[in-house]
Structure 1
């Protein structure tokens, strides 16, 4: 598993009218951590000729974070085939699972913006050799 983790302290701008992290903020954190992970994976590639496009989010909200909490945002890539790849997320406060989710991405050709088959080279970036 190509696991990536990021820590974050909840800020006042992330709190909603119910005094906990707004649900939309969790999705933003998912996007941020997936971008950070992807840029780490491609750090040695000058400019890829492909991009990822979100086609589905599935989010299960289990518990809540509040102002000042430190959260741990974990991500890894799962099933990857054809033109789609599934990225998993878990967000924790201490040992408490706050959010469990997955996003389905479609690989696109950077120039044409059309779906592109995921090559073995890309799979090797996403999924470590077992």
Structure 2
């Protein structure tokens, strides 16, 4: 059964990260290995966080991945270029929220999509902390977008 393609919410910023397909990413089946996709989900979420929050905030708060779920829709071949990941966040639930990622080829076709559940923690104690509304606002679109 085919899963519907993830669609960004209109009220969320979509952050785009270019991805590089390196020779070591290719598995025995001749396409990007599934472990690489998990790394991309984590790297893309981290890039979004680092781009939107200052060093002081990042020193106080950190994120722990609780789970990743990936749907593989189209293989990415060796040497592929123009691969990008698009990511956005869902609604917070206490210290947690889902992050959505769509990985697309140079033609805009969805190759994979994933949902990761992340938990906000105090960087010093690693204890979960509620996601403040001010933090979520950074991930929302603005009327200027």
State the TM-score, normalizing by the size of structure 2.
Answer: 0.82
- Matched residues, number: 129
SS state at 2:125 partner: coil
Q: Which runs of 5+ in 2 are unaligned?
A: 1-11
Q: What is the Cα deviation at residue 123 of structure 1? A: 1.4
| Matching residue of 2:33 | 22
Higher strand share: 1
State the TM-score, normalizing by the size of structure 1.
Answer: 0.90
Task: Say which of 71, 83, 89 aligns to 1:77.
Answer: 89
Q: What is the Cα deviation at residue 2 of structure 1? A: 1.2
Q: What is the Cα deviation at residue 129 of structure 1? A: 4.9
Q: What is the Cα deviation at residue 128 of structure 1? A: 3.6
| Matching residue of 1:105 | 118
Partners of 2:100 and 2:50 lie apart in 1 by: 17
Does 1:33 find its partner at 2:44?
Answer: yes
* Structure 1 residue runs of 4 or more that deviate by more than 4 Å after TM superposition: none
Does 1:126 find its partner at 2:136?
Answer: no
Q: What is the Cα deviation at residue 127 of structure 1? A: 2.8
Q: Which runs of 5+ in 1 are unaligned?
A: none
Superposed CA RMSD in Å reads: 1.5
Q: What is the Cα deviation at residue 47 of structure 1? A: 3.9
